[in-house]
């Protein structure tokens, strides 16, 4: 596949049936619909059920993406799962989802880059396929973020939701598909957004307050980081693709906060209508947020052949990533 174009050839999503509105949250924590929407743009989110796990929704999204690509499960050569809320420390959630999709033998592993995971995964898939090692890679972003929320902390519990979205990466017509990618990280910011307990540094068996087993976030600093890093990522990746900012047709940022998206688009000088935003009905779904927004916009007929689409992410780590796509799916 050397010197061949590589891109997204299938998309699929799965969200839990249960939803939690802002009005529902008013009964749980001191907050209001107006307060949440004015600070995040979120009205509702999906919540994984007690009888569900992240591998269940990941497998469902993965099979939909395979079908959308016109393939069979046996056509998949590798599974990359990106999640910040793995079902277990090990085995990987990718292996659990693989079994539920009725697949076997292909390599399957988790990629941990928090909310930047899907962007990292696209870059990895492109490079593996460019090396002529694989023909079809299934990339899944899936999260059960609500399992890690402190429902008494209104600064975090109102923001997150659960979802899965998947993409099949494969050969596309010359000149289309993934044109460039960019990744980075700065571990000095690791303390801004984390789940303190659950790893080997402090296992659940060691004495720790229950709140330490939940998401802890310095919202103000994360906001400042995101507003700075999104324009930097977009400018860098567009330059790598040999394009200019005014050639962008759509910008799909990690769906963390509407105010972040609006400020970043303003700093880039892009028209508001170029931004893709679906956070209102899903909240922040971590590594699933970008492919979920991408799949939803695609399904609505918003993209046309040849559109330049930029994906840009940021997350715990701190991590960031961006990808440029010349769209071909469905053309």
Q: Are 322 and 181 in contact (CB under 8 A)?
A: yes
Catalytic position from the list 254, 257, 278, 323: 254
Single out the catalytic residue among 115, 157, 257, 278.
115
SS (HEC) of the chain: CCCCCEEEEEEEEECCCCEEEHHHHCCCCCCCHHHHHHHHCCCEEECCCCCCCHHHHHHHHHHHHHHHCCCCHHHCCEEEEECCCCCCCCCCHHHHHHHHCCCCCCCEEEECCHHHHHHHHHHHHHHHHHCCCCCCEEEEEEEEHHHHCCCCCHHHHCCECEEEEEEEEEECCCCCEEEEEEEEECHHHHHHEECCCCCCCCCCCCCCCHHHHCCEECHHHHHHHHHHHHHHHHHHHHHHCCCCHHHCCEEEECCCCHHHHHHHHHHHCCCHHHECCCHHHCCECHHHHHHHHHHHHHHCCCCCCCCEEEEEEEECCCEEEEEEEECCCCC
3 is catalytic: no
Cα–Cα distance between 147 and 311 in angstroms, integer?
A: 27
User: 284 catalytic, yes or no?
Assistant: yes
Exactly one of 22, 68, 257, 284 is catalytic; name it.
Answer: 284
Does the annotation count 254 as an active-site position?
A: yes
The token duo for 162 is 């659960």
First-to-last CA distance in the chain? Answer: 22
Catalytic (active-site) positions: 115, 254, 284
């Amino acid at each position: 596949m050397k010197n061949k174009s590589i891109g997204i050839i299938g998309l699929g999503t799965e969200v839990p049936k249960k939803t939690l509105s802002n009005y529902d949250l008013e009964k749980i924590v001191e907050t209001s619909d107006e307060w949440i929407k004015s600070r995040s743009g979120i009205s509702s989110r999906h919540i994984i059920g007690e009888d569900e796990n992240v591998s269940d929704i990941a497998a469902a999204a993965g099979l939909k993406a395979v079908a959308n690509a016109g393939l069979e499960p046996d056509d998949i050569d590798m599974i990359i799962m990106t999640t910040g809320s793995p079902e277990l420390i090990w085995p990987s959630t990718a292996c659990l989802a693989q079994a539920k999709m009725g697949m076997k033998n292909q390599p399957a592993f988790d990629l941990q880059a928090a909310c930047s995971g899907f962007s990292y995964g696209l870059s990895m898939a492109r490079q593996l396929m460019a090396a002529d090692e694989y023909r079809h890679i299934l990339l899944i972003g899936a999260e059960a973020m609500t399992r890690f929320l402190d429902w008494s902390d209104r600064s975090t519990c109102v923001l997150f939701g659960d979802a899965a979205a998947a993409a099949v990466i494969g050969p596309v017509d010359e000149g289309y598909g993934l044109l460039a990618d960019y990744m980075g990280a700065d571990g000095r910011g690791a303390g801004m957004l984390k789940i303190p307990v659950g790893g080997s540094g402090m296992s659940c068996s060691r004495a720790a307050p229950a709140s330490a087993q939940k998401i802890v976030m310095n919202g103000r600093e994360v906001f400042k980081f995101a507003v700075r890093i999104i324009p930097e990522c977009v400018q860098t990746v567009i330059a790598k693709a040999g394009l200019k900012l005014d050639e962008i047709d759509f910008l799909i940022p990690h769906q963390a906060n509407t105010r972040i998206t609006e400020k970043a688009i303003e700093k880039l000088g892009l028209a508001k209508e170029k931004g893709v935003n679906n956070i209102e009905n899903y909240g922040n779904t971590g590594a699933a947020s970008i492919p979920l927004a991408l799949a939803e916009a695609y399904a609505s007929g918003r993209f046309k052949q040849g559109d330049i689409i930029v994906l840009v992410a940021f997350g715990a780590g701190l991590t960031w990533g961006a990808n440029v796509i010349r769209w071909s799916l469905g053309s």
